[in-house]
Amino acid sequence: MTIFEILFGGGGDTKRIYRQEFEQAIKSLPLISDKEREYLRGIFSSALKDGITELELKKIISGLEHNHSDTLDAMEVEQVKRKLFGELEDNK
């Protein structure tokens, strides 16, 4: 299950989600580590204040790149992107 399915469930482009819903979604994704969750909280903190649509969320995730101030390295950032888009299989 992707973060988009968890948050929007086909709710259309106008639905907005906020910090609490986002937090619940990233906690429910089994492949996301605590370090990655913390990274995502930082990336999305300002966008979630006014709510974020599915399209906005996709744009931000697609644009994620490693910055020197990030807690993740470039490879880890790419893995987070793939996990959020559901491109990695669950290794349960």
Q: Which residues contact 11 (CB under 8 A, 6 or more apart)?
A: 54
* Exposed / middle / buried, residue 2 (Cβ in 10 Å: 0-12, 13-18, 19+): middle
Q: Which residues on neighbouring strands pair with residue 17, listed in sequence order?
A: 52
Residue 79 is classified by DSSP as: H
Instruction: Tell me what the mean pLDDT of segment 18-28 comes to.
Output: 92
| pTM score above 0.75 | yes
Mean of pLDDT over the chain: 86
Tens of pLDDT, residue by residue over 26-61, are 998 888 999 999 999 999 999 999 999 999 999 999
| Closest by CA position to 72, among listed 15, 33, 25 | 33
Query: What is the residue type of 74?
Result: A
Lowest-pLDDT choice from 19-23, 37-41, 83-87: 83-87
Asked if the model's pLDDT at residue 3 lies above 90, the reply is no
Domain spans of the chain, in order of start: 3-84
